């Protein structure tokens, strides 16, 4: 994995921290332990690791669910967010992706005016009906796009909004359960039609297509990030975005796209698709035992990215599609 040439730059990655000052618990299916307090300690260790890197990360990509929905129940949302964000104090810039747990704790309006809106000074988002998506270029030839996977959703959207109404219709067309958090089937892709997932609006898809067209022209290498995975082979299908197929066909129609990063499925996953795009679903900190960890540093080179994983996050060499 070692390379004689230094990378062009590096960046840190971490997902599903889901911090809460509560005792350990289990996931909904009772199959995985959740370490709510210890997730903060693992984030601190990740931060120490990034600070010790020879080439310090230019930024950290936080893939969503930074605090757990349980905070809302204890009226502790702001306190938990302040606690987690304080750990990042001495880090480089942090790019925050929004997941379902952001919306269990805060309204869209509150998120837009919070520290979790990292689009400030980028191409910014102005009102709560809009989607939270932006792009940035840390250095010449490389671009990152942050997507809003809950743009079409019944969590985080005002019940009076058109997006809520359309999302509820779509969800109910596919899921007839009274509790929409329960999947409509026990296996297969239809499982994704649950309330804790969401989708991308037509406007957001159009915007993404435009950003990627410009990146193609500029011959950039683009990494796209969202809380929800968009390739069925990179995740348990229950965690897929509702309209994953639409995003996927846009990504695959642009030569600039090299990698798609997501969280949500705490077991993690990886798949290289037919266009050579790497779909990386990051292991969640919340379900990582205290003696391990789940974060990485990505070393970006002209011809590939090298992920150096820690704990249960594996090392990976991500060659760019042109080098297939
Ligand atoms: N089968 C299920 C799963 C979940 N719920 C309820 O939905 C809410 C969110 O669940 P949670 O497990 O906390 O969501 P995560 O984002 O941490 O994880 C995503 C997937 O679960 C991973 O597989 C919560 O209120 C659950 O109680 C449900 O009702 N039925």
For 69-84, how does the pLDDT look when each residue is reduced to its tens digit (9 = 90+)?
Answer: 999 999 999 999 999 9
User: Does residue 2 surpass a pLDDT of 60?
Assistant: no
Q: Which atom of ligand 1 is nearest to the CA of 27?
A: 12
Evaluate whether residue 3 is within a structural domain. Answer: no
64 is a domain residue: yes
pLDDT at residue 101 greater than cutoff 50: yes
In a domain, 280, yes or no: yes
Give residue 273's domain range. Answer: 9-323
> How far, in Å, from the CA of 27 to the mean position of ligand 1?
7
In a domain, 229, yes or no: yes
Residues composing the chain: 324
Residue 4 in domain:
no
Q: Could you write out the three-class secondary structure of 145-192?
A: EECCCCCECCCCCCCCCHHHHHHHHHHHHHCCCCCCCCCCCCCCHHHH
Per-residue pLDDT at 91: 76
pLDDT at 124: 55
Write down the mean pLDDT value for the chain: 95
- Pocket test of ligand 1: the residue of 28, 70, 72, 100 to mutate, having most ligand atoms within 8 Å of its CB, is 28
Q: What is the model's pTM?
A: 0.96
User: Could you tell me if residue 277 is inside a domain?
Assistant: yes
| Assigned domain for 2 exists | no
Please give the distance, rounded to the nearest whole angstrom, from the Cα atom of residue 141 to the centre of ligand 1: 38
How many folded domains does the chain comprise? Answer: 1
Going by alpha carbons, the residue nearest to atom 6 of ligand 1 is 181
Angle between the 244-252 and 202-217 helix axes, to the nearest 10 degrees? 20
Contact (CB, 8 A) for 185 and 191:
yes
What are the Cα distances from residue 259, in Å, to 39, 59, 173, 201? 26, 17, 32, 21
Q: What is the ipTM of this complex?
A: 0.94
CATH code where residue 214 lies: 3.60.21.10
Give the SS3 label for residue 95: strand
Q: Does residue 1 lie in a domain region?
A: no
Distance 29 CA to ligand 1 centre (A): 8
Report the separation in Å between the CA atom of 128 and the middle of ligand 1, taken as the mean of its atom positions: 24
């Amino acid at each position: 994995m070692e390379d004689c040439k230094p990378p062009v730059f590096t960046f840190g990655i971490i997902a599903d921290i889901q911090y809460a000052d509560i005792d350990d618990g289990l996931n909904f299916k009772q199959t995985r332990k959740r370490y709510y307090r210890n997730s903060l300690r693992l984030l601190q260790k990740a931060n120490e690791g990034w600070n010790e890197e020879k080439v310090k990360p230019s930024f950290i990509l936080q893939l969503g669910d930074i605090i757990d929905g349980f905070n809302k129940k204890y009226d502790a949302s702001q306190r938990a967010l302040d606690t987690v964000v304080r750990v990042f104090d001495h880090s480089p810039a942090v790019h925050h992706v929004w997941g379902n747990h952001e919306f269990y704790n805060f309204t869209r309006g509150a998120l837009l005016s919070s520290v979790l809106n990292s689009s400030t000074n980028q191409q910014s988002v102005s009102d709560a009906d809009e989607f939270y998506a932006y792009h940035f270029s840390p250095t010449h030839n490389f671009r990152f796009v942050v997507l809003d996977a809950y743009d079409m959703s019944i969590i985080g959207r005002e019940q009076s909004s058109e997006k809520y109404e359309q999302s509820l219709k779509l969800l109910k067309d596919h899921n007839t359960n009274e509790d929409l958090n329960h999947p409509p089937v026990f296996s297969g892709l239809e499982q994704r039609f649950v309330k804790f997932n969401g989708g991308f609006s037509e406007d957001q898809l159009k915007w993404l297509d435009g950003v990627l067209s410009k990146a193609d022209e500029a011959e950039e290498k683009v990494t796209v990030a969202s809380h929800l995975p968009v390739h069925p082979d990179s995740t348990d299908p229950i965690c897929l975005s509702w309209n994953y197929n639409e995003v996927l066909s846009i990504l695959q129609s642009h030569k600039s796209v090299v990698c798609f990063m997501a969280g949500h499925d705490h077991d993690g996953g990886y798949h290289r698709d037919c266009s050579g795009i790497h779909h990386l679903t990051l292991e969640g900190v919340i379900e990582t035992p205290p003696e391990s960890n789940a974060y990485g540093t990505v070393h970006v080179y002209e011809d590939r990215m090298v992920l150096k994983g820690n704990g249960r996050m594996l090392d990976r060499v991500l060659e760019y599609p042109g080098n297939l």
